[in-house]
Structure 1
């Protein structure tokens, strides 16, 4: 991103904003196994076809998903496989952060002296 003008950074931010919605991430993850139509995606995700269509429209506008009409159905597939490398990179980073946090909590628990238990009277 170094040296990008503000207009380009706006486009980068919009791209990441599309990825900030869990439903769209779920759709992308589902399309990892192959192309599907709206009904198949809606059924697999548990969302309405209208909701899935709205998300697919945004994903298509930003070049993440490609649409192909076949008869009365539209089929969607991943347009850029590099999205999975990006998502895997982010997921790995989050996993490492959670591991560090868990280790920090464990160290705190081990270092904290236990309070004596009071005896019931």
Structure 2
């Protein structure tokens, strides 16, 4: 198995959150037949974090979507995971959370599909 890491500039993502725009992390323009991404969208005073899987062919797999935060109010550790089916008809959502827009978050989407492992990681907001 191989492990691929897709990273995007945290500054661009944080700037998108600060201005109320949608932000996408990961390499969605890649020619890879299987790829993941992390999407952050402002929803008022909340931020919605989603893990997406893109596949050019039908495939089954499993995933783990992990969000960690730390702040004055305490710590949060969210972990979601399950089996999934993805295909070329569009991205498949693998995990989603709504959190306070002012927080700092480390987000990881780990995917096993088609005999390979893929991982998207992103740090959003302030220092953790």
Fold shared per TM-score above 0.5: no
Q: TM-score, normalised by structure 2?
A: 0.21
The TM-score normalised by the length of structure 1 is 0.21
Greater relative CO (CA pairs within 8 A, separation 6+): 2
Larger helix share, 1 or 2: 1
Whose radius of gyration is greater, 1 or 2?
1
